[in-house]
A and B are shown apart, each in its own frame.
Chain A
């Protein structure tokens, strides 16, 4: 089947996330509200695709669409619109499409702003090879857990004198501890054998040294999980030669960004990779991690798989395993069949045709 490993991995990912939620909610009856952020570029069309598929599957989800374009709040600070924040605070679950990050537009990256608003401290990306979508790498089965609030993306930069710029990388004990704890708990809840801390403490002695120290300390409380440390460059070197040697990877922000995209590349790219962000107060936002693809926006060419798989992760997080399995199976079967595929998957069907095919399969499963 299209990756029993994949499915069990995803359900395990969600297993971990559920244990993090501070309030288990039962969704046996009635509609559950989910804040939907369509995003920019191809965002709206793939969100529509997901909504269609969910409707076909009769999933008990009520979508609340919100826009998160930054506005200047009182005091001149950039923030997300109040309606969006209120909606997320109430529903606690979000599904997000790609957001534009223009270079030098005055306001900070929208993704960064969202993270700061909801304290989304952990980005979890399970990367498992998809049967039916061949890449040069087979049997990939790893999870990257990236610290998502500080590190190199603190957003603190200054021009010291003309021609000299300083960017500040921030590492704190608290954030390092939190992400290390999440990584080990995740590993334990999902029966993963080892956690590897990725760092560059030979060069960034103090900052990555602190991160590493906290990981070592947390590892002491999780003796059942094997803990290893590896330099970032060594991980990169080994990852492209033999990715099967890796299990759970935990790392600061920038390395996480690069490595999680590298791993996504191993299984087929951002168009098929799901992602989840865990926040401090039981908030969880699932997102597609690809870009806005402005060149194909509005042309019905986009591939909704990434957003769909993230939505499936979301369903499992909410306890709706039956629905999740149905939709996921329909998606994988469609990809494996190779008859109706979007261009990036090697076919020449439209987004609407691909969506329609999945809807048909879902309905046939009734």
Chain B
């Protein structure tokens, strides 16, 4: 194969977009490099502004620069930033700070059974909409007396209405029939009770969509026995973490599912389960599918639908090839083999690659 360091041709269809790229820790850097490689190969009119925030950056300045960069560009693609446990508790997770500063209130994950991936459950197709800025992730903790710690979970009417509105709107736009609110209002009567109440209020404005609710522990049980019953699910932050990881596991694991974080003004794309993958970093064995699909979500967001579908089709064709499966899918393929296969697939389908200009 010819080297991929060719200079891309000038854009043919108008302007180029600038997107902030945050490599993060673990497998983030290598996978995002593959994304850049792929984009160059396909002549995607996107330029990346790389901002290096990782577990080694401890100063607030680095964080502020990253946030400013995303504000400037409006869109970001990121890897996960590890939280260093050796630092004192006042050091809040960088990923969390990004989400709250940019008010990326909706975390959207679409878990679908992919052809060619062997799982215990078939026909899973669930959209998870998770409140992304408050709830248990408010980072409000204090030690009242030594040995007694309080952690505050905050639920507000405003944010609950907002996420419920987002969920029902998304359901309507995607032609979905049912929204399920996941909660624990039998125990957290005021907190989750408020969340549930807000969902009910919003549901009244969408009569064509069925609304029901389910307690979180029952939900996980139902998910492992009959996940096909779920359509769209909306929930507060922590339950969102649990449910999205369970669903990602059901459809094949962390290497396959992309995730998106949407706010009113900004959007940040990453893998759904936000893993650093420290133990498999730099070994060319990580599954790039989730990251590549996340970049497609980003392209759709930028209204570059042609590129998005082209790349997505190629990724799905590659994933269905069992011999290319990486270790997480039970195979022995390497990351670069998967990426090369995606590129070959794109090349074979049309005249949009840099080699054929």
Distance in angstroms between the alpha carbons of A246 and B253 in the assembled complex: 17
Note all chain A residues with C-beta closer than 8 A to B136.
152, 169, 200, 203-204
Note all chain B residues with C-beta closer than 8 A to A63.
none
Chain A interface residue number, banded: 35 or more
Question: B67 at the A/B interface (Cβ < 8 Å)?
Answer: no
B189 touches A233 (CB 8 A): no
B150 touches A201 (CB 8 A): no
Consensus secondary structure, chain B interface: mixed
Question: B89 at the A/B interface (Cβ < 8 Å)?
Answer: yes
B93 touches A269 (CB 8 A): no
Note all chain B residues with C-beta closer than 8 A to A262.
217, 220-221, 224, 246
Question: A265 at the A/B interface (Cβ < 8 Å)?
Answer: yes
Question: A270 at the A/B interface (Cβ < 8 Å)?
Answer: yes
Q: When A163-B157, A206-B143 are in contact, do A137 and B245 touch as well, CB less than 8 Å?
A: no
B189 touches A237 (CB 8 A): no
Segment 5-56 of B: residues with Cβ below 8 Å from A: none
A170 touches B150 (CB 8 A): yes
A240 touches B217 (CB 8 A): no
Note all chain B residues with C-beta closer than 8 A to A260.
217
Question: B225 at the A/B interface (Cβ < 8 Å)?
Answer: yes
Q: Residues of B within 8 Å of A, CB-based: how many?
A: 63
Question: A86 at the A/B interface (Cβ < 8 Å)?
Answer: no
Segment 165-222 of B: residues with Cβ below 8 Å from A: 184-191, 193-194, 216-218, 220-222
B249 touches A166 (CB 8 A): no
Distance in angstroms between the alpha carbons of A180 and B250 in the assembled complex: 30
Question: B357 at the A/B interface (Cβ < 8 Å)?
Answer: no
A173 touches B224 (CB 8 A): no
Note all chain A residues with C-beta closer than 8 A to B244.
233
Minimum CB–CB distance for A330 against chain B, Å: 26
Distance in angstroms between the alpha carbons of A232 and B90 in the assembled complex: 21
Minimum CB–CB distance for B304 against chain A, Å: 31
28 A–B pairs (Cβ distance < 8 Å), ordered by A: A102-B186, A103-B185, A109-B187, A137-B120, A152-B187, A152-B188, A165-B190, A166-B153, A167-B155, A169-B153, A172-B148, A200-B241, A202-B93, A205-B139, A209-B85, A232-B241, A233-B241, A233-B242, A234-B275, A236-B242, A236-B245, A238-B249, A240-B223, A240-B249, A254-B238, A264-B221, A265-B220, A270-B221
Please name 13 further chain A to chain B contacts, defined as beta carbons within 8 Å, in addition to the given A169-B150, A202-B93, sorted by A numbering.
A136-B225, A163-B158, A169-B153, A170-B150, A203-B139, A205-B90, A233-B241, A237-B275, A240-B223, A241-B253, A261-B217, A262-B224, A265-B223
